[in-house]
Amino acid sequence: MSKKRENTAFTCANCSADVLAATNGSYRNHCPFCLCSLHLDVKPGDRASDCYGVMMPVGLRKSTKKGWQILHRCTLCGFERYNIVCGDGEQPDDFSLIINLPS
Protein backbone atom coordinates (compact mmCIF):
# COMPACT_ATOMS: atom_id res chain seq x y z
CA MET A 1 0.00 0.00 0.00
CA SER A 2 1.43 3.37 -0.95
CA LYS A 3 2.03 6.17 1.50
CA LYS A 4 -0.46 8.43 -0.30
CA ARG A 5 -3.21 5.80 -0.01
CA GLU A 6 -2.54 5.13 3.68
CA ASN A 7 -2.40 8.79 4.71
CA THR A 8 -6.01 9.72 4.02
CA ALA A 9 -8.73 11.68 5.78
CA PHE A 10 -11.36 9.74 7.73
CA THR A 11 -14.31 10.11 10.09
CA CYS A 12 -13.55 8.91 13.61
CA ALA A 13 -15.54 5.79 14.53
CA ASN A 14 -15.57 6.88 18.19
CA CYS A 15 -16.41 10.61 18.20
CA SER A 16 -17.46 11.17 14.53
CA ALA A 17 -14.93 14.01 14.05
CA ASP A 18 -13.64 14.71 10.55
CA VAL A 19 -9.92 13.90 10.67
CA LEU A 20 -7.58 15.28 8.03
CA ALA A 21 -4.62 13.40 6.62
CA ALA A 22 -1.35 14.17 8.40
CA THR A 23 0.54 17.12 6.93
CA ASN A 24 3.86 16.53 8.69
CA GLY A 25 5.16 13.72 6.43
CA SER A 26 3.82 10.97 8.69
CA TYR A 27 0.69 8.81 8.68
CA ARG A 28 -2.49 9.67 10.57
CA ASN A 29 -3.81 6.52 12.26
CA HIS A 30 -5.81 7.90 15.18
CA CYS A 31 -8.18 10.76 15.89
CA PRO A 32 -6.49 13.94 17.19
CA PHE A 33 -9.63 14.88 19.15
CA CYS A 34 -10.32 11.67 21.15
CA LEU A 35 -7.08 9.75 20.33
CA CYS A 36 -9.03 6.63 19.27
CA SER A 37 -8.06 4.43 16.34
CA LEU A 38 -9.48 1.38 14.53
CA HIS A 39 -8.15 -2.16 14.60
CA LEU A 40 -7.33 -2.43 10.88
CA ASP A 41 -3.84 -3.98 10.90
CA VAL A 42 -2.20 -7.16 12.13
CA LYS A 43 1.22 -5.74 11.24
CA PRO A 44 1.54 -1.96 10.74
CA GLY A 45 0.08 -0.96 7.37
CA ASP A 46 -1.09 -4.40 6.21
CA ARG A 47 -4.88 -3.80 6.68
CA ALA A 48 -5.17 -7.55 7.37
CA SER A 49 -7.30 -7.44 10.54
CA ASP A 50 -10.89 -8.62 10.34
CA CYS A 51 -11.75 -7.17 13.77
CA TYR A 52 -12.39 -3.45 13.02
CA GLY A 53 -12.93 -2.68 16.72
CA VAL A 54 -12.34 0.77 18.18
CA MET A 55 -8.85 1.07 19.68
CA MET A 56 -8.97 3.18 22.86
CA PRO A 57 -5.94 5.13 24.16
CA VAL A 58 -4.84 3.41 27.38
CA GLY A 59 -1.20 4.37 27.92
CA LEU A 60 1.80 6.45 26.92
CA ARG A 61 5.51 5.80 26.55
CA LYS A 62 8.58 7.59 25.24
CA SER A 63 10.67 5.66 22.73
CA THR A 64 14.26 6.73 22.16
CA LYS A 65 13.78 6.18 18.40
CA LYS A 66 10.16 7.22 17.78
CA GLY A 67 9.42 9.77 20.52
CA TRP A 68 6.10 9.77 22.40
CA GLN A 69 3.73 6.92 21.59
CA ILE A 70 0.14 6.21 22.59
CA LEU A 71 -0.79 2.66 23.54
CA HIS A 72 -4.11 1.68 21.94
CA ARG A 73 -6.16 -1.36 23.05
CA CYS A 74 -8.97 -2.84 20.94
CA THR A 75 -12.33 -2.81 22.71
CA LEU A 76 -13.42 -6.00 20.89
CA CYS A 77 -10.42 -8.35 21.00
CA GLY A 78 -7.89 -6.71 23.35
CA PHE A 79 -5.15 -6.33 20.71
CA GLU A 80 -2.60 -3.65 21.65
CA ARG A 81 -0.35 -1.43 19.53
CA TYR A 82 1.71 1.73 20.07
CA ASN A 83 1.20 4.67 17.68
CA ILE A 84 3.33 7.79 17.41
CA VAL A 85 1.87 11.02 18.81
CA CYS A 86 1.12 13.58 16.12
CA GLY A 87 2.39 16.76 17.75
CA ASP A 88 2.34 19.10 14.78
CA GLY A 89 0.63 19.67 11.45
CA GLU A 90 -2.86 20.92 10.74
CA GLN A 91 -4.59 18.77 13.41
CA PRO A 92 -2.11 17.92 16.17
CA ASP A 93 -3.19 15.45 18.86
CA ASP A 94 -5.04 16.94 21.85
CA PHE A 95 -2.22 17.43 24.36
CA SER A 96 -4.67 17.70 27.30
CA LEU A 97 -5.77 14.10 26.60
CA ILE A 98 -2.23 12.82 26.09
CA ILE A 99 -0.89 14.12 29.41
CA ASN A 100 -3.69 12.27 31.26
CA LEU A 101 -2.72 8.86 29.85
CA PRO A 102 -0.88 6.56 32.26
CA SER A 103 2.79 5.98 31.48
Domain segments of the chain as ranges: 3-98
**For position 38, what pLDDT does the model report?**
95
CB 96 within 8 A of CB 34: no
pTM score? 0.87
Mean pLDDT of 3-31: 82
Task: Encode pLDDT of 50-78 as tens digits.
Answer: 999 999 999 999 999 989 999 999 999 99
**For position 44, what pLDDT does the model report?**
82
